[in-house]
Amino acid sequence: MSVETGFLFSGPRVEMPPSEILPVADASAVRNSRKRKGPRSTQLAARGEPYVWLMGSGLAIATLMILGLLFLVFYNGISTFWPKRIVEFTLIDGAKILGEVIRSERYQVSPSELAGMSAESRIRITASGGWSRRYLVRTGNYDLYGDDFKWVVESQIAGRALPLNVWLIERMEWGRAVGRLQKLTRDNIPLTRNSDEFYRIFSEVHGVAIDSKKKIARLQDKIGALNYALENSRLAVRKASLKYGDESTQHKAVAEAAAREESRLTKDFERLQAEIASIRSEDGRFRAYVFDAAGTLIPERPSSPVTPMLVSQIVRAYPANTLTLLKRIQVYLSRWVEFLTTEPREANTEGGVLPAIFGTFMMTLIMSLVVAPFGIIAALYLREYARQGTLVSAVRIAVNNLAGVPSIVFGVFGLGFFCYVIGGRLDMLFFPEKLPAPTFGTGGILWASLTLALLTVPVVIVATEEALAAVPRSMREGSYACGASKWQTIWRIVLPRATPGIMTGIILAMARGAGEVAPLMLTGVVKLAPELPFDSHFPFFHLNRSFMHLGFHIFDVGFQSRNSEAGKPMVFTTTLLLIALVALLNIVAIRLRSRLIKRFKVAHF
């Protein structure tokens, strides 16, 4: 039966090839339409022009929105660290306010406010339809005012000036101070009277203070190592008692060794403490007398209002209005360096984001390392090995839908499964001496990375499947014809050829994973984790540690800190940094891919 239909089908093909009929029909149609409409009157729709406009404007709108967002982030992120001038406002009631003007805005004056104004300004404001202008001034001195910002209303301003001896001082604690530097002292003896020399003398004194700060940090590192050793010897004792019992000789031997170790470490510890104390007291001799706009001394700490601040408390200080452009650039760059290379201070609103950069980077890397093999293997099975049928289609649909599950759900799963189930087991097996304090049984960078890997694996699977499907059949057949097995063909021909496509999937997964925050909040991200997930102690990478993440940092600084207005500039710089980091990771991956593509590019056809 079927054979006969085969014959019938091939019959007409021989007798009248369709290719001979079609071109003729086409040609006559074209000729006819020309006759009807004249040479140049093709319809607009026929040329596809309206669709070009439609699609073009769609693209333009999308591009504009993205560019707008990027510009906003970029502008705010870039300008945050620029040292602005400090303006002194004198208000009508005689009060003075010193600070950087952050922004100004027009606002609708409320009737009650209007009633309390002078007749002159009332008339002016009513004339402009009830609108007036106000300025947001970053006054600093949180310890004195209980706030970092103040709104200054236009109608209240009697005068403004740029006083010369006003300094902006960034402190280790309490944020910025803004005020007039009156003198620098050593043991209460002024180092200089001439205010022209302040900058030079301050730089000298501050340099010394910074050196001693570094010294202290080094000593504190040593103390950290001592603590680590101490903790280890205690854990060894506990391990021995768990293993051999409290009365055993082994336990006693270990305990004795630990006791000896402890007394030795304690001695070291005390010696280091004494060293630090002596450096601190040396630092304590240098003080800076700074007075705010109202003439109040800005103290070392709010509890003792008459003690001037320590030079060693100061991170950075500059006379904001007399700074040359070069110095201004210097300050700007040094702020960036601080931002990129130090740990956060002041509930994350000041200082740097190094741990967050590092955490984001490590997490993305671990995630990629996990997601790539899993995604590729899954896609290989689906595309190359599994028999294509309803089951495989169902799996495929399920995988695609996985991408639509809210990411917080993955977070919950990660917490329940990775942290509690797997981590808990690991703790029981390998770290019983530390229990009940969890080692792996709580959020950590490994679990967060695994959760994100789970979240992004559909992206890799879909991209890999597509890449595998795009490998020409002829290449596979060529390989089989050479006597290659299925696996050899996949390994030597299909996978290399599909690599660029697979890389695309991994790039997308990386971008998605690096920007994800919600699931991390449940599986290991914390507000502050000064300990990086890797250090000089064996095994160097501590995958159980919790970590900081730029995305979470943005959320935390912008919406969770004591005063989010102060954190706002940090939000933009951190966002800029996160975008830059993701872009960097992507560029590296894209570079890699384009090199691969070049290798597979067909030069001739």
Chain residues binding another protein by CB under 8 A are 2-4, 6-7, 10-11, 13-14, 472, 474-485, 488, 492-493, 496-497, 599-605
Q: Which two tokens stand for residue 554?
A: 């943005």
Closest CA to 593 of 500, 506, 502, 505: 500
What residue has token string 């990386």?
A: 510
CA trace torsion 249, 254, 260, 266 (10° rounding): -140
Give a three-class secondary structure readout of 17-69: CHHHCHHHHHHHHHHHHHHHHCCCCCCHHHHCHHHHHHHHHHHHHHHHHHHHH
* 529: phi then psi, degrees, rounded to nearest 5: -135, 85
The full DSSP string for 508-541 is: HHHHHHHT--HHHHHHTB-S---S-SB-SSTTSB
Q: Which residues, other chains included, contact 477 with Cβ-Cβ below 8 Å and sequence gap of 6+?
A: none
Instruction: Quote the least distance from Cβ 323 to another protein, whole Å.
Output: 58
Q: Tell me 279's DSSP state.
A: H
* 87-91 β-sheet, strand order: 149-153, 131-138, 96-108, 87-91, 157-161
Positive or negative CA dihedral for 437, 532, 330, 311?
positive
Instruction: Quote the least distance from Cβ 482 to another protein, whole Å.
Output: 4
Q: Which residues, other chains included, contact 317 with Cβ-Cβ below 8 Å and sequence gap of 6+?
A: 167, 168, 169, 170, 181, 202, 206, 288
CA 538 to chain centre: 27
Please give the C-alpha separations between residue 536 and each of 224, 273, 328, 438, in angstroms, as whole numbers. Answer: 11, 22, 37, 22
The nearer residue to another protein, 325 or 603, going by C-beta atoms, is: 603
SS3 label, residue 186? strand
CB distance 180 to 163 below 8 Å = yes
Closest CA to 448 of 374, 329, 359, 563: 359
